[in-house]
Amino acid sequence: MSARRTVVLLGASGSVGSSVLNLLRKQSDKFCLLGFSVHRNVEMATAIAAEFRPTYCAVSGLGESDFPRHLSLKFLPLCELAAIAEADCVAIAIGGIAALDPLMAAIGAGKCIILANKESIVSAGPIVGDALLKSKATLLPADSEHCGIFQCMRGDGGFRGLFRRTETVRHVWLTASGGPFFDAEGDRLNDVKPAEALRHPTWSMGAKISVDSATLANKGLEVIEAGFLYGLSPEEISVVIHRRSLVHALVEFCDGSLLAQMSQASMEIPLSYCLSYPDRAAAPEKAFNPVDSGPLEFQYPNRKSFPCLALAESAFRNGLSATCAFDGANCAAVEAFMREEVPFGAIPMAIGHVLHNLPPQRLSDIESAKECHCEAKRKAAEFLGRRFSI
């Protein structure tokens, strides 16, 4: 029997982290947890350490004294854990731009990286791409849509890897569930509360990504990410609403053929693909029956009611730091909405304001990307404070 692959999991206490841990439980003969990181969830961190007996841990909002001594963990800085020599693969499930530093550390160390974070690519795609092309690292996108694209392109046989243009690809279709308000009009959306925005119809996710799905900002972020990852222009990427969440991506090739990636709506499926890459691990769950699944229906999104999608596409077309500014402004606006300081419709208002008032600039390194992100958040917060007297 071959040795088990050692896994470092960054962001172990979130929904994606929980899915990774569940896969490690199911496939304990193939994988072992070498190390993990958490922010403040000491109860979950203690449980993870007790169950999986990892060697290393990185904490940000906690201290070493918060953990029982009998666990015998070795505490490391986050970026040091991301680049640790003993790890075969590094799964990055940290939310937001906080994933950017450990991502760059893992790339520099030449790791096999499972990336379940779109903000790092949206905010610093060209910088990440340049670093990846200069290293021996492998980057595998774990989001269901981008993993679906990856599998379709790989199935074509001419796929040359991420951040390289694939000439045989003509168009990519990203599917969206539409979120909890997909058929709501403007008046209804004015009164939306945070608890309603968190009720995603298909996926079980964290608060921030659930709100992003409700505004379709998440799909806008995915358009930008797909553009960077696969060398596509905004015109080569379309978004369609697919309420069933069975088809995750479709890729059209130059000969008119389309490949689709389909599966049940479970993050464990793309994560398992990434963990086992380039192989596929057998799963006990059966795929859906194409007859029992019913019709596969698609429709275009209501862009009038959900302007965040068009704002993301505009930022993508403007290039340079505009996509980073989009993400920063969206972060600030979602935070204010979750605190019930601003209405749901304030989110695209803040993004539009920042994109209009923060001219795109060239980002030379990750520090400049983080500075741009902070500036966009600041401008969005200032705008919302003036507009809604908060």
Q: Which two tokens stand for residue 355?
A: 């994109």
Tell me the pLDDT tens digit for each residue of 203-239: 667 889 999 999 999 999 999 999 999 999 999 999 9
Choose among 172, 175, 216: nearest CA to 306.
216
Coil/strand/helix, residue 274: helix
Residue 334's nearest CA partner among 352, 323, 350 is: 350
Q: Hey, how many other C-beta atoms are within 10 angstroms of the C-beta on 195?
A: 8
In the structure encoding, which two tokens stand for residue 350, read together? 């803040």
Model confidence pLDDT, tens digit, residues 126-172: 999 999 999 999 999 999 999 999 999 998 887 888 998 888 999 99
User: Would the pLDDT of 330 be above 60?
Assistant: yes
User: What is the pLDDT at residue 186?
Assistant: 66
Q: What is the pLDDT of residues 7-29, one digit of tens each?
A: 999 999 999 999 999 999 999 99
DSSP state of 162: T
The mean pLDDT value for 330-354 works out to 97
Whether residue 200 has pLDDT greater than 80: no
Token readout for 321 is 């730091």
Confidence of residue 47 (pLDDT cuts 50, 70, 90): very high
Cβ-contact 114, 91 below 8 angstroms: yes
* Mean pLDDT, rounded, for 263-278: 94
Which pLDDT value is given to residue 68?
77
Homologous superfamily (CATH) for 5-141: NAD(P)-binding Rossmann-like Domain (3.40.50.720)
Q: Please state, in angstroms and rounded to a whole number, the distance separating the CA atoms of residues 110 and 117.
A: 18
Q: Where are the domains of the chain?
A: 5-141
For the cut 80, the answer to whether the pLDDT of residue 101 exceeds it is: yes
Q: Which residue has the higher pLDDT, 375 or 289?
A: 375
Closest Cα to residue 33, out of 84, 109, 77? Answer: 84
pLDDT at residue 1 in the model: 38
What is the rounded distance in angstroms from the CA atom of residue 373 to the CA atom of residue 97? 8
